[in-house]
Amino acid sequence: MKLKVILLAAFTIVGVGAHVPATSAASSILVAQGSSDSGYRVGDTLAPEKRARAAGYEDILWENLLPDGWSADKMLESLNLSGLDDNDSKAKEMLVKIRQMWDSAPANAKLDNKRVRIPGFVVPLDGEREKTREFLLVPYFGACIHAPAPPANQVIHVKVKPGTTVKVSPAAWITGTIRTVRSDTKLAMTGYEMTADNVEFYKQDDIPFSL
């Protein structure tokens, strides 16, 4: 097996568009990402669900977080990975370069201070298994826990309103104001920050739709 395949598997962006969707429950979601009975497998992504629009908010997809012209594929192609084999001494060096590229991935300035709603997987940051005050929202299951962190422009640092907590679930819709604020958390570099106005369950049996 070529090392390139391993690198691509470990660091590629998994876009939203599989099979999964939520029931309203502001400030209430269940089960942590690490749970074996969550129903998700590492790498699973979420599809938008057929549901009412949130008044005053725009539904967005993870690809909307990428700035115009930025592509993970283009970044990887610039490294010329095709000639690397499993035992290549440059493998570790390449992994470091890719991590640096991912951590510095630019945010989409057009989204700054936009009121949006987006579905994603929840990664708690405060060490609590049942409730959390802040968490990462990522596009695929297992990111930052069972798999490497995505590029910074595919990670949102979500904070709930002061004095409140939400129960932890594997996946949720987050509604709120998104900002192009970078932060270095203990699990990943993030390109966005979001204040959650609402947190909703994401069910696996709803009908997906296209934005």
List, for residues 178-192, the tens digit of each pLDDT value: 999 999 998 999 999
Residue 53 has what pLDDT? Answer: 81
- Residue 155: which domain range? 13-68+107-201
Q: 102's torsion region: left (phi>0), alpha (psi -120 to 50) or beta?
A: alpha
pLDDT digits (tens, 9 = 90+) for 159-170: 988 777 777 778
Q: Are 200 and 42 in contact (CB under 8 A)?
A: no
Least confidently predicted of 9-13, 73-77, 161-165, 196-200: 9-13
| Residue 118 included in any domain | yes
Token reading at 9? 């598997």
The Cα–Cα gap between 138 and 185 comes to 13
CA 6 to centroid of chain Cα atoms? 20
Q: Which 3 state secondary structure label does DSSP give 15?
A: coil
Computed over every residue of the chain, the mean pLDDT equals: 76
When mean pLDDT is compared across 26-40, 70-84, 107-121, the lowest value belongs to 26-40
Is the pLDDT confidence value at 82 over 90? no
The confidence score (pLDDT) of residue 5 equals 44
Residue 100 falls inside a structural domain: no
Q: Is residue 78 part of a domain?
A: no
Q: Does any domain span residue 84?
A: no
Q: Is the pTM of this model over 0.75?
A: yes
Q: What is the pLDDT of residue 26?
A: 31
Rounded (10°) angle between helices 3-11 and 91-103: 20
pLDDT of residue 79: 75
User: Average pLDDT for residues 145-171, to the nearest whole number?
Assistant: 86
Evaluate if residue 7 carries a pLDDT over 60.
no
DSSP assignment of 144-201: TTTB----GGG-EEEEPPTT--EE--SEEEEEEEEE---EE-SS-EESEEEEEEEEEE
What token pair was written down for 201?
């369950």
Banded model confidence at residue 13, pLDDT cuts 50, 70, 90 = very low
Strand partners, 135: 124, 158
Q: Work out how many domains the chain is built from and give that number.
A: 1
Q: How far apart are alpha carbons 27 and 15 in whole angstroms?
A: 26
**Nearest-angstrom CA–CA distance, 83 and 113:** 43
Q: Which residues face 52 on adjacent strands?
A: none
CB neighbours (10 Å) of residue 90? 14
Residue 96 lies in a domain: no
**pLDDT tens by residue, 95-127:** 888 889 999 999 999 999 999 999 999 998 876
* 184 within domain boundaries: yes
Q: Does residue 33 form part of some domain?
A: yes
Distance CA 11, CA 6 (A): 9
Task: Quickly list H helices, the chain.
Answer: 3-11, 72-77, 91-103
CATH number of the domain that residue 51 is part of: 2.40.50.140
In-domain check, residue 154: yes
